[in-house]
Chain A
Amino acid sequence: MKKKILSVLLLVAILAVIPAFSSCGGNDLITLNVYNWGEYISDGSEGTLDVNSAFEDYCAELGLNVKVNYSTYASNEDMFNKLDSGASSYDIVVPSDYMVERMIANGMLEPLNFDNIPNFKYINDSYKNPFYDPQNLYTVPYTYGMVGIIYNSAYVDEADIGSWDLMWNEKYSGKILQYNNPRDAFGTAMYKLGIDVNTDSTEDWQRALDELKTQKPLIQSYVMDEIYNKMKGESAYISSYYAGDYLTMYSDNEDLAFYYPEEGTNIFVDAMCIPKGSRNKEIAEMYINFMLSEEPAIANAEYIGYASPNSLVYENEQYIADMQDWHPDSMDILYPELDTDGEYVASYYKNLPEESLSTLNSLWAELKIDTGTETWVYVTSLVIVLSLAAFLIYRAVVRKLRSRMY
């Protein structure tokens, strides 16, 4: 009997504990669901400013009980699918340029009320009214950055640098890294050849593929975030990656150097938006405005290491001094002169039409997979499955025959 009571009590205890954790009470508690990239906000580690709790404090001063519910994603596509399933609602998301374009086209974003975001005036004019949001109704830029080439100055000859050709240089065969993602990998070849990266000509994509095929024997491996360790540990000497991430690598290996290839390169902007279905639009606008104010904006820019379009950041003397402590040329690396009299060409990856995307994906498959292996894999798996099934049937039959004998 005691056991019975005990088990009932246990069950009650379990059921009572769960709701207590999942929904904290509070009458006027407002939960703001922020969905951002991983490692993309100053979070209070190593004495930095904890931006989310600073925002909660700021709201508390205004008499609002706000709780920031912060979760993270690893790619634009992850975020898009989560929102598109319609099963969860967020108040803030931070997609990249091409994804913003796609989300606007799908009617997934809420127009912003810029009266609630007065700090928008600090945004650099070059980043207002961007191609993905021509009237600037939906977005406030958060960070931006450009792709350049990172090389190890201890092994790479200074005479060889300057253009994308470095990634095709046979001298460094086996020490070159290429992106393991079709858009960025094809991008490197297209900038090298001077092809428009948003082209819809199949012939152009084919030419880029041929270029990548000539590069393939020189490549150590196709990688994404392993780039950090390979470059820092000097198992590879050359790769292309974002300027901000170069600074992170530089902190651990001062032999690493960086340049923007002369043919031009890719630029991206990650922008704060409010998706449709947000239930606290005004608080979300307050959050965006708060992110643009001086202290949080600088804390974020120093934590992430990417360039900020906010003039309160890039004109701040303390910020400039901190960045120069990090790397003497960091301001030039993060904020290069853009487009003034054709000084430097940087282009966005735009949202590709369905047709180009499928061309790109099939060409990528052609590059990555040597023809012939595919059928070989399928045939082997089939043989294994069939022989397993045959063995099982054989055993069952044998058993049956034996049992009949007795």
Chain B
Amino acid sequence: MKTLSKVFIALVFVIMYAPLAVLILFSFNSSKSTGVFSEFSFRWYAELFSSPETFLALRNTLILAASSAAIATVIGTGAAIGINAMKNKYVKGAISSVTNIPMMNPDIVTGISMMLLFVFIGGLLSVTEVLSFWTMLIAHVTFNLPYVILSVMPKFRQMDKHLPEAAMDLGCTPLQAFFKVELHSILPGIITGAVMAFTLSLDDFVISYFTAGSSFQTLPLMIYSMTKKEVTPDMYALSTIIIVTILALLILSNVLGAKGDKKATR
């Protein structure tokens, strides 16, 4: 039974990581082929770093992801606080399920409806170029919001409700009580929400596709447009770099988290 479970785990890992392994392997291929590995080389990495287009797209993607994650985190945390403070059980339930709709909605529906809305408003204000960085930002904040709310809400439930009351007993104003006590207990939720919003915005294609204007192209949009000819292997190199960065961040956060836990148990 034990060997069987080991085999099963190995199988799961192979299925999960085989595509990434193949991608990383072929990013070091000296030829363009993804069928034959001819020779180990850094050719595509060199090409990646000499291509201004790619870096512009990467920069755009990072700006969009960071700003939409920041805005969504602020708004989402505020929304979670508001929903949590609601007295009426039914209204509370209704509001929290309504905020979940953008998450359950297929991306394509969100994307098209966003585009229609922007074009409609653009028509009302008679703006010719309504689609721009700002429309993309609005769209990304919209689909990021539910994830932030969803990761902050449980932290309120876990928190001892008497903590802010105790703080106020000891002389805090409600606002001070929030920043000094409540914020600390919901902080892990906020961070999770922000990270999730960042990664979701980073790899979103469908919604960006419909809301992007002429002046702002993100990486997923650029890679998609390459499919008419061939996706060049410098994209494999870029993906490899992204995977390694994420892996490093993950390991770092796990190590730090483990240390924090040790301190807490002491």
Q: Please give the residue numbers on chain A whose beta carbons come within 8 Å of chain B beta carbons, in ascending order.
A: 1, 3-4, 7, 11, 14, 17-18, 21-22, 31, 33, 35, 37-40, 43-46, 50, 53, 69-75, 85-90, 224-225, 228-229, 232-235, 245, 248, 251-253, 277
Nearest CB in chain A to that of B179: its residue: A3
Query: A232 → chain B, closest Cβ, in Å?
Result: 5
Residues of B within 8 A of A (CB): 31-36, 47, 50-53, 63, 67, 70-71, 74, 115, 118-119, 122-123, 128-134, 137, 175-176, 179-180, 183, 212-217, 221-222, 224-232, 234
Q: List 5 A-B contacts (CB under 8 A).
A: A4-B179, A33-B215, A53-B52, A72-B221, A232-B32
Query: If A38-B222, A38-B225, A71-B217 touch, does A87 touch B67 (CB 8 Å cutoff)?
Result: no
Q: Are A233 and B36 in contact (CB under 8 A)?
A: yes
| Complex A-B, nearest 4 residue pairs according to Cβ-Cβ distance, in ascending order | A233-B35, A38-B225, A72-B225, A38-B226
CB of B37 to closest CB in A, whole Å: 11
Q: Considering only CB atoms, which chain B residue lies closest to A224 in the complex?
A: B227
Contacts of A235 in B (CB 8 A): 35
Which of A69, A87, A225 is in CB contact (< 8 Å) with B227?
A: A225
Least CB separation from A10: chain B residue: B70
In the complex, the answer to whether B33 meets A87 with C-beta atoms within 8 Å is no
Checking B36, B67, B134 against A17 with a beta-carbon cut-off of 8 angstroms, the contacting residue is B67
Given A38-B225, A38-B229, A71-B214; A14-B50 close (CB under 8 Å)? no
Knowing A38-B228, A87-B129, A245-B229, the reply to whether A234 touches B35 (Cβ < 8 A) is yes
Using A69-B214, A232-B33 as known contacts, say yes or no to A87 and B47 having CB atoms under 8 A apart.
Answer: no
**Min CB–CB distance A33 → chain B (angstroms):** 4
- Residue in B closest to A75 when the chains form the complex, CB atoms: B228
**Shortest beta-carbon distance from B94 to chain A in Å:** 17
Whether B50 lies near A45 (C-beta < 8 A) is: yes
Please name all residues of chain A whose beta carbon is closer than 8 Å to the beta carbon of B183 when the two chains form the complex.
Answer: 3
Shortest Cβ distance from B33 into chain A, in angstroms? Answer: 5
* CB <8 Å contact, A45 and B47: yes
Q: How far is the CA of A72 from the CA of B231 in the complex (A)?
A: 13
With A38-B226, A69-B214 in contact, do A14 and B129 touch (Cβ < 8 Å)? no
Q: How far is the CB of B186 from chain A (nearest CB, A)?
A: 13
A22 surroundings in chain B (CB, below 8 A): 132-134, 216
Residues of B within 8 Å of A253, CB to CB, are 33
Q: How many angstroms between the C-alpha atoms of A264 and B248 in the bound complex? A: 56
Cα–Cα distance between A81 and B232 once the two chains are bound (Å): 26
Q: Which residues of chain B have C-beta atoms less than 8 A from A44's C-beta?
A: 50-52
- Docked Cα-Cα span, A370 to B76, in Å, equals 48
Taking CB atoms, residues of chain A closer than 8 Å to B34 are 229, 233
What chain B residues lie within 8 Å of A73 (beta carbons)? 225
Minimum C-beta distance from B156 to chain A (A):
18
Residues of B within 8 A of A33 (CB): 214-215
Residues from chain B with a CB closer than 8 A to the CB of A53 are 52
